[in-house]
Chains A and B, each alone.
Chain A
Amino acid sequence: MAEKTVTIQNRHGLHVRPATQLAELAGKFKSPVTIVKDGQEVSARSIIELLTLAAAHGTELRIKAEGPDAAEAVDAIQKLIDGRFGLE
Chain B
Amino acid sequence: MKLTDLVSRESVVGDILSTDKKGALRELVEALRVARKPAGFKTTEVLGALMKREKMGTTGMGGGVALPHAKVEKISALYGALGRSKAGVDFGAVDGEKVHLIFMLVSPPVEADEHLAVLKRVSAGIRLPNMSKFLRAAKDSKAIWDLLREMDQSVGA
Task: Please report A residues at the B interface, Cβ cutoff 8 Å.
Answer: 11-17, 20, 23-24, 46-49, 51-57
Contacts and interface: CB of A to CB of B under 8 A. Distances in A.
Interface residues of B, number: 23
A47 B61 contact: yes
30 contacts: A11-B112, A12-B116, A13-B113, A13-B116, A15-B112, A15-B116, A16-B67, A17-B57, A20-B57, A20-B59, A20-B61, A20-B94, A46-B62, A46-B127, A47-B61, A47-B62, A47-B94, A48-B126, A48-B127, A49-B123, A51-B123, A52-B120, A52-B123, A52-B124, A54-B116, A54-B117, A54-B119, A54-B120, A55-B116, A57-B112
Contacts, number: 59
Contacts of A51: 119-120, 122-123
A12 B116 CA distance: 8
A51 B115 CA distance: 11
B112 A13 contact: yes
Contacts of B62: 23, 46-48
Interface string B86-113: 0000000010000000000000000011
Interface of B: 56-59, 61-63, 65, 67, 69, 94, 112-113, 115-117, 119-120, 122-124, 126-127
Q: Binding site of A, secondary structure by majority: helix, strand, loop or mixed?
A: loop
Across chains A and B, which 10 residue pairs bring their CB atoms closest together, nearest first?
A51-B123, A54-B120, A47-B61, A54-B116, A12-B112, A48-B123, A51-B119, A52-B124, A52-B123, A48-B127
Nearest to B127: A48
A48 B134 CA distance: 17
A40 B58 CA distance: 27
Contacts of B94: 20, 23-24, 47
Contacts of A13: 112-113, 116
A16 B69 contact: yes
B100 to A, nearest CB: 14
Given A20-B94, A49-B127, A12 B56 contact: no
A51 B61 CA distance: 11
A80 B56 CA distance: 18
A55 B123 CA distance: 13
